[in-house]
Amino acid sequence: MNVIVIGGGVAGAACAIALRGIGAEVTVYEAHADPAGQVGSFLSLAANGLRGLRALGCMEQVRQAGFAVPDQRMWAASGKLLGEVPRGRRADDPLLSTTLMRGHLVETLREHARGLGARIVTGRRLTGTTPDGDGVVARFADGSSARADLLVGADGLWSATRRALDPRAPSPAYAGLYTVSGIAEGVASRPGTFNMVFARNGAFLHLGAPDGTVWWSAQVAEPLQPELAGVSDEQWLERLTALHRAERQPSAIIRATTLLHRPTLMHTLAEVPTWHGGRVVLVGDAAHPVGAGQGASMAIEDAVVLAQSVASAATVEDGLAAYDRLRRARVGKLSRSAASNRDAKIAGPFRRRLNELIMPIVFRHFYDRATAWLYTHDLGTLGGRP
């Protein structure tokens, strides 16, 4: 089977690995010259995402590219500790959450995909698809085209594959939050602990890296979509300092910042009704941008289930239908949790105060059981049935 994967990020590289694992010939077409390297900020892989990587055969390589983060603490804007829980796992799970730069994750996955024989072509942007008998033709902006038995749309939130598959599919909408991330030096943050501060103007995340620096991300609540272009690093830091002036630890970290990543807008996407049609299928953010720190893990799970479904079905179309059926309920449940998480970040003063009263009880008595369905999920091997 000949497969085209559109998008060379986390979802695309994971799909290339998974589909090579079942014997498909895979070519990845990436619109950007190079989506890896030092692009974007950090992300975390929870236990379920790491188990997906284990199925793909590259869990240890990814863990070596990052560092383990066993614990997570939640803080009120006042500095009150609301709860401490295992990070991205159940308390008795020895598989520790891994944090790393997004670009380093992409680099590691792409290297593994190439090692398995996948071909990666950069600088080719999809403009449309056309059915062709029992296959599909991909058309690119440079006038070229390519035919395959299966086309996988792993091209993210602004997916061209999604538009080609269903012109009436929903479009992303601004979520009322934007993100500014950076690296600080010379300020204390307990190593191995992910901290989330429910700040007065959104959420502030930070954790200590093994080299002594602090990786941080401010998710700022702003109802009206801001203009990000034309604002210098110094102006961003001044703006964040003013927003967090009453919050001791975030203020100290912002003041100690030595490197700022490019600010980004956060978006939501209404449920995508069509995930597959003919020989075209969507994975990752192209189908379901879930957020809640699970975007990369869900994309990895998608890749494993897609390969398992296609390998075990009588036809490609049957395999895509099975993939859709197997993934929708899980992704839908996570999307609802992510919406609640987002609402907590943009809550007003009354809601924040209510959360401060309720969250300690939730974290102490219900968190472990409530997240078991997410973190204990194990897809087995590529050769197994989903």
Q: If we measure between CA atoms, which residue out of 305, 189, 321 comes closest to residue 248?
A: 189
Q: Does one domain contain both 209 and 257? A: yes
CATH of the domain at 229: 3.30.9.100
Distances (CA, A) of 188 to 83, 97, 182: 20, 21, 15
In a domain, 6, yes or no: yes
Q: How much is the pLDDT for 293?
A: 82
222 touches 177 (CB < 8 A): yes
Give residue 359's pLDDT band: very low, low, confident or very high (50, 70, 90). confident
Q: Does one domain contain both 223 and 155? A: no
In a domain, 145, yes or no: yes
C-alpha–C-alpha distance, residues 92 and 366, integer Å: 15
Q: How much is the pLDDT for 356?
A: 75
Q: If we measure between CA atoms, which residue out of 286, 251, 4 comes closest to residue 120?
A: 4
Q: Does one domain contain both 49 and 189? A: no
Q: Does one domain contain both 259 and 164? A: no
In a domain, 189, yes or no: yes
170 touches 300 (CB < 8 A): no
Q: Does one domain contain both 259 and 276? A: no
pLDDT of 358 above 90: no
Name the more confident of 350 and 7.
7
In a domain, 21, yes or no: yes
In a domain, 73, yes or no: no
b/e burial code for range 166-205 (CB count within 10 A of at least 16 → b): beebeebeebbbbbbbbbbeebebeebbbbbbbbbbbbbb
Q: Does one domain contain both 149 and 203? A: no
- The rounded percent of the chain whose pLDDT value lies above 90 is 80
Name the more confident of 293 and 340.
293
Out of 267, 290, 317, pick the residue that ends a domain. 267
Domain count for the chain: 2
Among 211-215, 229-233, 336-340, where is mean pLDDT lowest? 336-340
Instruction: Determine how β-strand 193-199 pairs with β-strand 202-208.
Output: antiparallel
In a domain, 380, yes or no: no
State the chain's mean pLDDT as an integer. Answer: 92
Instruction: Determine how β-strand 71-76 pairs with β-strand 193-199.
Output: parallel
pLDDT of 124 above 70: yes
27 touches 146 (CB < 8 A): yes
3-41 pLDDT, tens digit per residue, is: 999 999 999 999 999 999 999 999 999 998 765 445 568
Residue type at position 29: Y
CATH of the domain at 325: 3.50.50.60
Q: Does one domain contain both 10 and 105? A: yes
SS3 27: strand
Provide the edge-to-edge strand list for the sheet that holds 280-282.
119-122, 25-30, 2-6, 150-153, 280-282, 276-277
Measure the CA angle with vertex 340, ends 338 and 344; round to 5°.
115
Two structure tokens written together for 99: 């944090």
Out of 267, 288, 309, pick the residue that ends a domain. 267
Instruction: Determine how β-strand 257-260 pairs with β-strand 173-184.
Output: antiparallel
48 touches 377 (CB < 8 A): yes
Handedness of CA 242, 243, 245, 250 (dihedral sign): negative
Q: How much is the pLDDT for 350?
A: 59
Q: How much is the pLDDT for 308?
A: 97
Q: How much is the pLDDT for 370?
A: 85
Out of 219, 247, 267, pick the residue that ends a domain. 267
Which residues constitute the domain of residue 187?
Answer: 173-267
C-alpha–C-alpha distance, residues 56 and 152, integer Å: 17
Question: Strand runs (DSSP E) across the chain, as ranges?
Answer: 2-6, 25-30, 42-45, 67-68, 71-76, 81-86, 98-101, 119-122, 126-132, 135-140, 145-148, 150-153, 173-184, 193-199, 202-208, 214-221, 257-260, 264-268, 276-277, 280-282
Q: What is the DSSP letter of 286?
A: G
Q: Does one domain contain both 188 and 153? A: no
In a domain, 290, yes or no: yes
Q: How much is the pLDDT for 340?
A: 65
Q: How much is the pLDDT for 231?
A: 92
**199: CB partners within 8 A, 6+ apart:** 77, 218, 243, 244, 247, 250
In a domain, 223, yes or no: yes
Q: Does one domain contain both 242 and 307? A: no
- Overall average pLDDT of the 287-302 stretch: 91
Q: Does one domain contain both 263 and 273? A: no
